[in-house]
Amino acid sequence: MKVIIAEDQGMLRGAMGSLLSMEEDIEVIGEASTGSEALRLIRNCLPDIAILDIEMPVLNGLDVAKTLQHEGNPCRIVIVTTFARSGYLQRALQAGVRGYLLKDAPVAKLAENLRSILKGSKVFSPQLSHTMFEEVNPLTIREKDVLCQLEKGESVSEISQSLFLSPPTIRNYISEIIQKLEAKNRIDAVVIAKRKGWID
């Protein structure tokens, strides 16, 4: 099988590529350090499988998966990450990802999982709890917009101008967000949403 690896940590990417290349049936045909490079490689080199990290510069792994899904690209996407977050997992499932694996697994196990995925299986790390598959992001698109602005440190009036909504409407959104996330305050709400992967 032909594989590309996208990972912004050069040492980890190189080690993974070298170890996978030692498998007789796996050929690493390209490596990328950003999501945009990964997208270009996948379109040009037509790999069977792309191994993507979630957090990469320019485009993250989930953005790449979503783009390829919209394009109808047949490349199978495998997310390999350190983040066992329910929000990331939910977004990966929505983007048609075929595997969601944690980085602490041995490369031999990764190779075994890639073979299963190539045959049509979906593989998810056994460390992911069942609750992570069931936990749904309670935030609306507009609430996520408001949270992202709060993360930037914007005031109610600044968010109001950014989103073209009145200050009272923004305050209502913030109140609703805090209630939904059972947060202590705005900052706590941002921390909770980030931790669960519900906002980037």
pLDDT in tens, 54-100: 888 888 899 999 999 999 999 999 999 887 676 788 888 889 999 99
Angle, CA 20 vertex, CA 85 and CA 10 arms, to 5° = 65
Q: Is 16 helix (H, G, I), strand (E, B) or coil?
A: helix
Query: How would you list the strands of the sheet with 76-81, edge to edge?
Result: 27-32, 2-6, 49-52, 76-81, 99-102, 123-124
What domains are there in the chain, each with its CATH number? Answer: 2-134 (3.40.50.2300), 141-195 (1.10.10.10)
Residue 160 to residues 141, 149, 168, Cα–Cα distance (Å): 16, 10, 9
Residue 113 to residues 9, 78, 153, Cα–Cα distance (Å): 22, 10, 42
- Residue 109's nearest CA partner among 23, 2, 30 is 23
Q: What is the pLDDT of residue 65?
A: 95
Whether the CB-CB separation of 56 and 35 falls below 8 Å is answered with yes
Q: What is the pLDDT of residue 135?
A: 64
Q: What is the pLDDT of residue 133?
A: 58
Q: Structure pTM?
A: 0.68
Q: What is the pLDDT of residue 89?
A: 82
Q: What is the pLDDT of residue 132?
A: 57
Low-confidence residues of the chain, pLDDT below 50?
Answer: 131
Q: What is the pLDDT of residue 87?
A: 75
- Provide the token pair at 52: 């993507």
